[in-house]
């Protein structure tokens, strides 16, 4: 299939402000896509060339990209640099540069979707001496085969700045409409996606085998499973109402949630909550898990915690220093880690997720041998709320965040915020029940001391039922000079010149700059109140919001939901 057809659709989507309209446009396009191309189209529609967990890095420097544009357009580098200064978007630079391409530069045929996909993977695979030049030459060859509009989207896909606002759920909705004629079937696709978070596999399976094929998708070791999420309550007395009888109470740690996969070849892969491959950052942990966890194949979950030489728990920010590409050996020595294992999802050719928590954790006790760096999560089993409260305060003394209460009979609900798990944190004893993880969707230019940076941010919660983001506060307090200087750089690649397609916002709250919903921040506030200006739930706003930290370990769709905020407000 000609890439130009996708470029035309991306152009239409970029001009579309309605999420529902986006789904219809995509669905109509998907109907025309050959089955052999639907996986590629699904990735490219999201501005990717693989799933998040595949960890494919194109590694083409911005300067090399601009050089490729100059060569493909037959113009001087100085003109390309000037265009970049004017437009701030390499995609728009490519479109402009190729509009005036000299007639002597004859197009070298048409760029197909598969060729684009294959060449981008080729770029990602090249390393070593002369890599940038080789990558640049491949990019030039692609740009010479596309229209100016096509060039814009080739560059944006390559740089990960597509900016059309489509998310994974948007694509699943469109696939359901295109292949089943009923958007309600998205629930079946989403259930499969929670076990197999790869839109390419979901799309191709649906195109070739229909819903019956989708329903057969199961755990595959080496491919992460979307992690189960916790519900929350406002009063401790609500917990036995939601989970009657005996329940487990586990410590909630201030670390990084991790899923460890061991395949039949003995290879161990670690995935983060965002489903990123973090194996390279924790080679010491890989060796420990290999030694301490029995089984030919397994998928286990736990929390990675940074510790000092005495084994005392260190803050999350310290642990994040381990998330680096270089000096790994040095940081292994400076910041040792341990993992507290709390669940097993697969073991020796058998899925465990549909079994009760009690049976899963019994299996854990048999396969995990405790060591200094691998151990089971701290836990009690009780039916007494006062005993749970005592354990909760013991965990606070250990500098942990609180506890998670788990149903002994509950299955593992991948990707779902279910009542089988309920979190109870130290923040719940404050005036406001909890901190919120909100998504930056806009910004307002700073004045006075904040001149030249963003003075405030427009933040939103996630409405998971409608797959939209709803505004809940304007955030300006708590932003340090360091964070203020950092934010424009972090947000630049997500900047839009229009309202994000999946955003509900009222005119009174329109910011001066829009952003694709990507970056999550943790925010504390005084209370939740009704507001005529915000769109969260029934029209709720967070009063006196205060920035606490960036939550780079969370995706936008893992932010606090509008439903959760409604529940908090009712209390």
Give the active site residues. 252
Q: Please state whether beta strands 454-463 and 513-515 pair in parallel, antiparallel, or not at all (unpaired).
A: unpaired
Map residue 313 onto helix, strand or coil.
strand
Exposure string of 10-43, with b = 16+ CB inside 10 Å and e = fewer, is: beebbebeebeebbbbbbebbeebeeebbbbbbb
Contact 233, 239 (CB under 8 A): yes
403 vs 95: CA distance, rounded Å = 53
| HSE of 345, CA atoms in CB hemisphere, 13 A | 24
Q: Please state whether beta strands 374-376 and 337-347 pair in parallel, antiparallel, or not at all (unpaired).
A: parallel
* Neighbouring C-beta atoms of residue 312, cutoff 10 Å: 11
Q: Which of 166, 282, 290, 300 is nearest to 224 (CA)?
A: 300
DSSP 114-139: HHHHHHHHHHHH--STTHHHHHHHHH
Q: What is the dihedral of CA 25, 28, 32, 37, to 10 degrees?
A: 50
Q: Percent helix, strand and coil across the chain, each rounded to 5?
A: 45, 25, 35
Contact 439, 504 (CB under 8 A): no
- Phi and psi of 39, rounded to 5°? -65, -45
400 vs 425: CA distance, rounded Å = 9
Tokens of 63: 């300067």
Q: Which of 564, 567, 562 is nearest to 470 (CA)?
A: 562
Q: Give the DSSP letter of residue 378.
A: P
Contact 469, 460 (CB under 8 A): yes
β-pair partners for 196:
none
Where do the H-state alpha helices sit in 33-147? 38-45, 62-73, 77-87, 90-99, 113-125, 131-143
Contact 156, 184 (CB under 8 A): no
């Amino acid at each position: 299939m000609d890439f130009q057809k996708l470029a035309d659709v991306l152009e239409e989507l970029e001009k579309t402000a309605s999420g529902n309209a986006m789904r219809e446009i995509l669905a109509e396009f998907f109907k025309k896509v050959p089955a052999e191309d639907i996986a590629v189209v699904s990735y490219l529609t999201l501005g990717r060339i693989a799933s998040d967990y595949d960890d494919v890095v194109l590694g083409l420097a911005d300067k090399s990209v601009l050089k490729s544009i100059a060569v493909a357009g037959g113009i001087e580098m100085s003109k390309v640099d000037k265009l970049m200064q004017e437009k701030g978007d390499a995609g728009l630079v490519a479109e402009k540069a190729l509009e005036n391409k000299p007639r002597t530069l004859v197009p070298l045929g048409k760029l197909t979707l598969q060729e684009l996909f294959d060449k981008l993977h080729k770029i990602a695979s090249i390393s070593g001496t002369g890599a940038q030049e080789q990558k640049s030459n491949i990019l030039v060859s692609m740009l010479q085969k596309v229209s100016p509009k096509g060039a814009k989207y080739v560059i944006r896909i390559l740089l990960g700045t597509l900016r059309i606002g489509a998310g994974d759920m948007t694509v699943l909705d469109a696939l359901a409409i295109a292949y089943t004629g009923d958007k309600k079937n998205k629930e079946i696709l989403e259930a499969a996606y929670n076990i197999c978070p790869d839109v390419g596999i979901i799309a191709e399976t649906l195109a070739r085998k229909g819903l019956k094929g989708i329903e057969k998708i199961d755990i595959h070791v080496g491919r992460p499973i979307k992690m189960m999420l916790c519900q929350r309550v406002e009063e401790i007395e609500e917990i036995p109402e939601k989970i009657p009888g005996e329940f487990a109470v586990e410590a909630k740690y201030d670390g990084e949630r991790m899923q460890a996969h061991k395949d039949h070849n003995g290879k161990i892969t670690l995935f983060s909550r965002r489903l990123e491959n973090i194996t390279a950052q924790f080679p010491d942990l890989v060796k420990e898990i290999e030694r301490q966890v029995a089984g030919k194949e397994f998928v286990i979950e736990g929390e990675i915690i940074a510790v000092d030489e005495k084994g005392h728990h260190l803050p999350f920010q310290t642990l994040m220093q381990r998330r680096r590409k270089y000096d790994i050996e040095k940081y292994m020595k400076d910041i040792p880690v341990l993992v507290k294992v709390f669940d097993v999802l697969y073991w020796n050719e058998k899925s465990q997720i549909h079994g009760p928590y009690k049976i899963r954790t019994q299996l854990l006790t048999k396969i995990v041998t405790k060591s200094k760096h691998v151990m089971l999560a701290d836990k009690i089993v009780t039916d007494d709320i006062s005993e749970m409260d005592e354990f909760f305060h013991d965990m606070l003394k250990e500098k942990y965040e609180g506890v998670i209460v788990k149903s002994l009979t509950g299955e593992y609900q991948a990707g779902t915020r279910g009542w089988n798990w309920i979190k109870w944190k130290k923040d719940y004893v404050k005036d406001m029940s909890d901190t919120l993880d909100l998504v930056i969707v806009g910004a307002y230019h700073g004045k006075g001391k904040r001149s030249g940076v963003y003075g405030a941010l427009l933040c939103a919660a996630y409405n998971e039922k409608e797959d939209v983001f709803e505004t809940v506060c304007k955030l300006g307090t708590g932003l340090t000079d360091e964070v203020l200087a950092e934010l424009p750089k972090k947000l630049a690649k997500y900047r839009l010149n229009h309202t994000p397609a999946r955003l509900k916002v009222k005119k009174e709250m329109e910011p001066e700059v829009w952003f694709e919903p990507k970056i999550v921040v943790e925010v504390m506030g005084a209370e939740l109140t009704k507001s005529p200006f915000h769109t969260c739930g029934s029209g709720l706003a967070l009063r006196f919001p205060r920035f606490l930290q960036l939550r780079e370990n969370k995706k936008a769709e893992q932010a606090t939901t509008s439903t959760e905020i409604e529940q908090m407000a009712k209390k």
